[in-house]
Amino acid sequence: MCQIPIMVNALETKEINKITSLQKRIAKNYSGKFCNGIGIGISKEGAARLAISENKEAKFNPSLWFELASSGKENLKKINQDELDEQISKRIVDDCGGAIGLSGQKGVNTFKEYLINIRNDMLD
């Protein structure tokens, strides 16, 4: 019986881990800005707009500067926006969902839809 060796592409796994790590850093930054805004009394909409506008350009996010220096925007372009929106929403609900009346997966889904609507509104 002839067996074909199975090749594992470690580079691909490393790249996926790098993208996942980037998504986590971006979600943390969104959550930090949003929750800080809520904490100082900014409305939910104002805090969402603030977080979106301050994260619009990666060069304004210090936690991404090393990534930009090493790979430019290539890895940022590989991020799945739907997955990122899910991570941002989960992080926000976990970090300060109680302050805006959201919890659990239903809260995550509600905030994700809200975030997408605000972002789309800002594009118009």
pTM of the predicted structure, to 2 decimals:
0.81
**SS3 state at 99:** helix
pLDDT in tens, 63-119: 676 666 666 667 778 889 999 999 999 999 999 999 999 999 999 999 999 999 999
In angstroms, the CA 51 to CA 95 distance is 14
- The domain limits of the chain are 23-123
Close Cβ partners of 107 (under 8 Å, ≥ 6 residues apart): 93, 97
pLDDT at 21 exceeding the cut of 50: yes
Residue pair 101/32 in contact by the 8 Å Cβ criterion: no
Neighbours of 62 (CB within 10 A): 8
